[in-house]
Chains A and B, each alone.
Chain A
Amino acid sequence: MLLEINGLRKEYERGEHRFAAVDDLCLRLERGEFVCLFGRSGSGKTTLLNMIAGLITPDSGEILFDGVGLYSLDDPARTAWRNEKLGYMPQGASLLSNLSVLDNIRLPFHLQPRSGGSLEKARELTRELGISRLEKSYPSALSGGEMRRVALARALMNSPELVIADEPSNDLDAQTAREMASLLSVLNGRGCAFLVATHDQELGRLGRTLEIANGRLLDQDHATEDREVSNVQ
């Protein structure tokens, strides 16, 4: 088991009343598994992903990664863990505009102390993801699909065990979204686990699907039925 989540809860205040963005949520993810998380806006997807990434502390519950409680680690240790074990593709434009494509990809390697260089690995990733010709370009010159590929390459830079992707095909045209899905499938085939928050049915076909509503995971079978009904409508 790569990831085990038990009884996870996170509350926020909106005006005078509190609400649970994630409520008593349990989830298991095996090594090399591809899991898609569906849900409407505001359903708690990003909050859940950020808690798994160690970016926000849950009010209760536990997240075990490789058997280690994520929130038993202090912030610097959790940051180092995230850098080493986790690749994260945030929602929307996430590239740093003052760095070239190649430097954007290399960046995670240099954020924690490490020996060796990053150039060879970064070039290997640009070849693999078909963006070699863009190495010296800056993000402002890239299309939406190219930016997502660069963000994916960056998430893979430190050879993580789990990649979290928040809406990786959002705003992409159908063709580009299909290319992205195919790319994720290839990478998943090499053993890297993926947890993807999405609305894209194409991605849902790559592995297990889960649906989140009001901060809770719905029963998996019901979730699939609900989604299919929603699609027909």
Chain B
Amino acid sequence: MPEAAFTLRRLAWNNLQRRPFRSASLAGMVALFAFTLFAGTILNENLGRGLASLAERLGADLLVVPHGYDKEAQAALLRGEPSTFYMKAELLDKVRRLPGVLQASPQFFLASLDAACCTSKVQIIGYDPASDFLVRPWTRENRGALESGQIVVGSRIITEVGGEVTLFGTAFTIAGKMEATGMGFDTSVFMTLDDVYGLVRKAGLAEGDPDEANRFISSIAIKTGPDHSPKDIGNELMRRHAIDYDLDLVLTKNLVSDIAARLKSVSSLTWTLAAVFWTLALLVMAIVFSSTVNERKRELSIFRILGASRSWLGRMILLEACFIGIGGALIGLLAAALLMFPFSTLIFQAIGLPHLQLSWGMILAYALAVLLLAGAAGPLASIYSALSITRFDIHPTLREGE
């Protein structure tokens, strides 16, 4: 029969098993830190990438929407929440004539019924491919004009380019798929304004006369000239047309800075919690290890008597701490992964901010970094105890009966 291995690792593991509650509690502290750091980092990075994408590619400086619908417009833009709101289309020409307006392009928002492509309602956005600068920056294919009967779908809508989707009984060919935007666009469907008006007419979706649908739009995206501030143009627009058209404005710069501020607070919370948990784990482990070493002096003396060197004992304590650190880190990482990956859609929906998924390579790199940092908590916390073992005097523990 092969001889069972008798190693330092096995002894250290045995020692931890002998005190299961203490070992599990310490590993739990490390797990809490690893969980917070990993989940928080993934969350922050995803949100950060979403924000960067938004700031980099959102071509519009201003969005004009009907009065009271600025929040809905933001929800549709950021989270893809299906919204339906309208204003008169004739405003578009007036906006284009405003000094400082470089480009203005209209959109028409329509919430779909459950479509074959999707598990829930999607936001249908009619846009004008000729004047568009809102959708095009994220379009991979079909950078030219979108034709009637064609649609472009968001990155998270599960369909293939060239396939067909039926919306309100009308079949559309998928001409292109957008790149991931991290925004509501990812779950939206884009078609020409004429097609969306056609849907409204055919399905009788609008209140009043469906044939009059083309007299309405939901929003106007405005790109301002380099010498004009979006705020000034917005003020001028409101001064001239707010009363006649009952308008509201969304300044995209404010939108980005609002998101950045919220992201900063999420990020601060994450780092603060992680730092608190790390410090706490370190302190508690240091105290527990130190008191345990005192409590184990008799046992450690026996090891010394039998011929264990001081460094061997120190290594055993460090190894116990490593097992706790690495074990706790793995538990924390696993718990964070089990929460973050299957439920990411729900989590980001609840947060309501643009987000872009990190690559698996980056996720792995962060997991390794967290594993190192959390795993190091154990050995760091036990250094003092390990060193004190190399100095402690075993004689008093053996003099009990003298």
Which A residues have a C-beta under 8 Å from some C-beta of B? 41-47, 50, 53, 55-56, 75-76, 79-80, 82-84, 88, 90-92, 94, 96-99, 103, 106-112, 117-119, 154, 158, 166-167, 170
Residue among B7, B14, B402 having the largest count of chain A Cβ atoms under 10 Å: B402
CB of B395 within 8 A of CB of A98, answer: no
CB of B306 within 8 A of CB of A99, answer: no
CB of A119 within 8 A of CB of B4, answer: yes
From A46, A55, A96, give the contact of B402 (CB < 8 A). A46
Given known pairs A41-B401, A42-B402, A98-B15, the reply for A80 and B395 (CB within 8 Å) is no
Neighbouring B residues of A43 by C-beta, 8 Å: 402
Given known pairs A76-B309, A82-B305, A83-B307, the reply for A110 and B394 (CB within 8 Å) is no
B21 at the interface (CB under 8 A from A): no
Closest residue of A by beta carbon distance from B18: A98
Neighbouring A residues of B17 by C-beta, 8 Å: 98
B400 at the interface (CB under 8 A from A): yes
Given known pairs A98-B14, A110-B6, the reply for A79 and B398 (CB within 8 Å) is no
Cα–Cα, bound, A170→B399 (Å): 15
Stretch at the interface among B134-142, B219-227, B296-304, B356-364: B296-304
Q: Mark B387-400, 1 if CB is under 8 A from A, else 0.
A: 00000011100111
Neighbouring A residues of B303 by C-beta, 8 Å: 111
13 A-B pairs within 8 Å (CB atoms) are namely A46-B399, A56-B393, A79-B307, A82-B305, A83-B306, A90-B305, A92-B401, A108-B306, A109-B6, A110-B6, A111-B308, A111-B312, A166-B401
Cα–Cα, bound, A118→B11 (Å): 16
Minimum CB–CB distance for B2 against chain A, Å: 9
Interface of B, helix, strand, loop or mixed by DSSP: helix
B121 at the interface (CB under 8 A from A): no
CB of B305 within 8 A of CB of A53, answer: yes
Minimum CB–CB distance for B398 against chain A, Å: 6
Neighbouring B residues of A76 by C-beta, 8 Å: 309-311
Cα–Cα, bound, A112→B7 (Å): 11
CB of B401 within 8 A of CB of A82, answer: no
Closest residue of B by beta carbon distance from A110: B6
Minimum CB–CB distance for B268 against chain A, Å: 45
Neighbouring B residues of A107 by C-beta, 8 Å: 6, 306
Minimum CB–CB distance for A22 against chain B, Å: 11
B3 at the interface (CB under 8 A from A): yes
Neighbouring B residues of A96 by C-beta, 8 Å: 299, 302
Minimum CB–CB distance for B302 against chain A, Å: 5
Neighbouring A residues of B14 by C-beta, 8 Å: 98-99
Minimum CB–CB distance for B190 against chain A, Å: 67
Neighbouring A residues of B304 by C-beta, 8 Å: 55, 79
Cα–Cα, bound, A31→B91 (Å): 113
CB of A91 within 8 A of CB of B400, answer: yes
Neighbouring B residues of A106 by C-beta, 8 Å: 6
CB of B307 within 8 A of CB of A112, answer: yes
Neighbouring B residues of A108 by C-beta, 8 Å: 306-307
Given known pairs A55-B394, A98-B15, A118-B3, the reply for A88 and B299 (CB within 8 Å) is no
Neighbouring B residues of A42 by C-beta, 8 Å: 402
Known: A46-B401, A88-B306, A118-B6. 16 other contacts (CB 8 A): A42-B402, A46-B399, A50-B395, A50-B398, A56-B395, A80-B307, A83-B306, A90-B301, A97-B18, A98-B14, A98-B15, A106-B6, A107-B306, A111-B309, A118-B3, A170-B401
CB of B302 within 8 A of CB of A90, answer: yes
Cα–Cα, bound, A99→B312 (Å): 18
CB of B305 within 8 A of CB of A88, answer: yes
From A47, A79, A170, give the contact of B308 (CB < 8 A). A79
CB of B309 within 8 A of CB of A79, answer: yes
Neighbouring A residues of B302 by C-beta, 8 Å: 90, 94, 96
Neighbouring A residues of B310 by C-beta, 8 Å: 75-76, 79
CB of A47 within 8 A of CB of B402, answer: yes
From A41, A47, A111, give the contact of B307 (CB < 8 A). A111
Cα–Cα, bound, A90→B4 (Å): 27
Minimum CB–CB distance for B9 against chain A, Å: 12
Shortest 10 CB-CB distances between A and B: which pairs?
A83-B307, A46-B402, A98-B18, A117-B3, A119-B3, A108-B306, A111-B307, A111-B308, A56-B395, A98-B14
Closest residue of A by beta carbon distance from B303: A111
CB of A91 within 8 A of CB of B398, answer: yes
Cα–Cα, bound, A96→B306 (Å): 12
